[in-house]
Structure 1
Amino acid sequence: MKNILLPLLCLILINCSQSGPAQHEAKADLVDMISEDKVQISNLSPPSSVSEKFLPDEKSNSNSVSQHKTDTISRKVIKDGDMRIQVGDLKKAQNQITDILKNNNAYIQKEDFRNTDTDENLNLVIRVPYKSFDTLINSFSDGVGSVLSKNISSNDVTEEYTDISIKLANKKIYLEKYRDMLKNASTTKDMLEIQEKIRGLEDEIDVAEGRLRFINDRVNYSTLNLSLYKEKIRSSTTSKIGFGSRFIDSFTEGWNSFVSFFLGLISLWPFFLIFPFLIFLWRKWKSRKKK
């Protein structure tokens, strides 16, 4: 019997030692599966409103932003200028300016002319392709007249343009997703909320596109404010006109000054009425004081 029991005990011990690790592995796998199910269940939460149910995927949005950031956008620089030129003959200067504008593919956006007793002023707002801006400035500086003042400025708007472009692309992505969600909306409340978001995005997209068009226009075409100035008063030391003409001009200027002085006195007529009244009151008060 002892010889039989000993082999049986050895077999039982061997089976127990082999089944122990397998059971532990099975239990471990079961625990892992239960924990994973708990994590998945804990991550799921019911949406509280339509904005949560139909919210666009943030991952796709972030990917689109990174793609747009990697896109290269050319530098955007707006160039503007102001010039004031004194000329001897305004009509001749206008003809010269017309030829210069044609040679540089420029055009006049606005024109303003003022004629006074002392001078003539012609103010022009000129739009010119940015590549021809410097050539245009040099042409005006050389042959039109005497440059009294010149101011040139450059404004780099690349950062603003890039920022608007990225936000515009993201808004268009949201707009397409909201339009797709509108097709799948099941209740009237959801449809109204989605339509309201679509209207808001469309307005923001229109504003952003308008700003980009404005920047592109200012970048592609530079603006120059040109003022032509002709002085009417002739100086006796610099003018080549004879003494008689200068005498008539001086007489005319003297008469205009006298008329201006006379009209200024007339404008003070209320004070002329008050002074006699004040003198009358002062004399009356003085006479009472003596009595």
Structure 2
Amino acid sequence: MGKLILPLFCLVLMNCSKHETDKQALNADLVEVVPQEKAISSSVSPPHSVSEKLLPDENTQQGIQSSKKQTDTISRKVIKNGEMRIQVGEIKKAQNQVNDIIKKNQAYIEKEQFQNTDMDDNLNLTIRVPHKHFDALINSFSDGIGSVLSKNISSDDVTEEYTDVSIKLANKKIYLEKYRDMLKSAATTKDILEIQENIRELEDEIDVAEGRLRFIDDRVNYSTLQLSLYKEKIRSSATSKIGFGSRFIDSLTEGWNSFVSFLLGLISLWPFFLLIPFIVFLWRKWKSHKKKA
């Protein structure tokens, strides 16, 4: 009996040891499997569109911040404009003086228009002058050319607009480069077409922004002055050097023109003249009817 109990006891010990070993192995397998499941569940799913792929990353954010720092150093942008009207004795002489002043201040004439009427002569000039010479040009025109009838000077500070456009332009260029990099690695036709469309829109917006900045720079660097030279033609016996005969003929001509204007004015009232006989007829009929009553 004792011989049988000893082998059975050894067999039970061996089974318990094997069961414990299998349990430890199973626990080890579970430990390896759980982290893998967690890793899969915590992974980020890929974006479903190109626009999602272009979310600002660290490099893009750094580029945007860099562009903002660059625009912080933009100097003040002030556009100066002016209008002047000067009465002169002789248009030709005044024009020569104006040309000398323009040349001295490194300016140029952008537009010239001359108008000759019965009452006066007008020479209208659009002058572009470097910003630093604008005040000197105005002062030169105010002295020695003629009598200043009107002068209007204005300044427009466009620094805020210029800075805003510059920041947006820099950011668009950053995203444009990012789209171009994405186009090189695009795998599907849908992504390629979408990226190309975004690139086209960005390029158009960049062209518009660059054009606006060029326009502002041009208006800031070169101020604009609208100059009008005016000569009156009205003659008087006190100031005119023309003889009596010429003034007599001018008076006859003016009187005739006034008579013609008066006659034409009467002719324009012909519908009312047609109504006068009809009104007289009605008045007489009413009067005769009243007498019979």
TM class, shorter-chain normalised? Answer: 0.7 to 0.9
Q: Secondary structure at the match of 2:46?
A: coil
Q: TM-score, normalised by structure 1?
A: 0.78
Match of 1:46 in 2: 46
Deviation, 1:249, is 3.8
Deviation, 1:93, is 0.9
8 Å Cα contact 2:67/2:171 also seen in 1: no
Match of 2:193 in 1: 192
Alpha-carbon distance between aligned partners in 1 of 2:285 and 2:61, rounded to the nearest angstrom: 92
Match of 2:206 in 1: 205
Structure 1 portions without partners, runs of 5+: 1-29
Matching of residue 59 in structure 1 with residue 58 in structure 2: yes
Q: Secondary structure at the match of 1:143?
A: coil
Equivalences for 1:16-165 in 2 at 5 Å? 42=42, 44-52=44-52, 54-71=53-70, 72-165=73-166
Identify if the C-alpha distance between structure 1 residues 258 and 181 changes in structure 2 by more than 3 Å, giving closer, same or farther: same
Deviation, 1:279, is 4.2
Match of 2:8 in 1: none
Q: Secondary structure at the match of 1:224?
A: strand
Alpha-carbon distance between aligned partners in 2 of 1:255 and 1:200, rounded to the nearest angstrom: 68
Which segments of structure 1 move beyond 6 Å, counting only runs of 4 or more?
288-291
Say which is worse superposed, 120-129 or 277-286, in terms of deviation. 277-286
Match of 2:13 in 1: none
Identify if the C-alpha distance between structure 1 residues 241 and 58 changes in structure 2 by more than 3 Å, giving closer, same or farther: farther
Counterpart residue type for residue 49 of structure 1: S
Quote the sequence identity (%).
76
Deviation, 1:90, is 0.9
Deviation, 1:290, is 6.5
Counterpart residue type for residue 69 of structure 2: T
Equivalences for 1:169-188 in 2 at 5 Å? 169-188=170-189
8 Å Cα contact 1:104/1:136 also seen in 2: yes
Question: For the pair shown, which has the larger CA radius of gyration, 1 or 2?
Answer: 2
Task: Output one character per residue of 1:212-233: Cα deviation in whole Å (capped at 9) or x when no partner.
Answer: 1110110111100011111111
Deviation, 1:132, is 1.2
Deviation, 1:267, is 2.7
Match of 1:269 in 2: 270
Task: Output one character per residue of 1:235-286: Cα deviation in whole Å (capped at 9) or x when no partner.
Answer: 3444455555544444433333332222222333333334444444555566
Alpha-carbon distance between aligned partners in 2 of 1:132 and 1:241, rounded to the nearest angstrom: 42
Q: Secondary structure at the match of 1:102?
A: helix
Say which is worse superposed, 260-269 or 193-202, in terms of deviation. 260-269
Say which is worse superposed, 222-231 or 254-263, in terms of deviation. 254-263
Alpha-carbon distance between aligned partners in 2 of 1:261 and 1:113, rounded to the nearest angstrom: 31
Counterpart residue type for residue 148 of structure 2: V
Structure 2 portions without partners, runs of 5+: 1-30
Alpha-carbon distance between aligned partners in 1 of 2:232 and 2:156, rounded to the nearest angstrom: 34
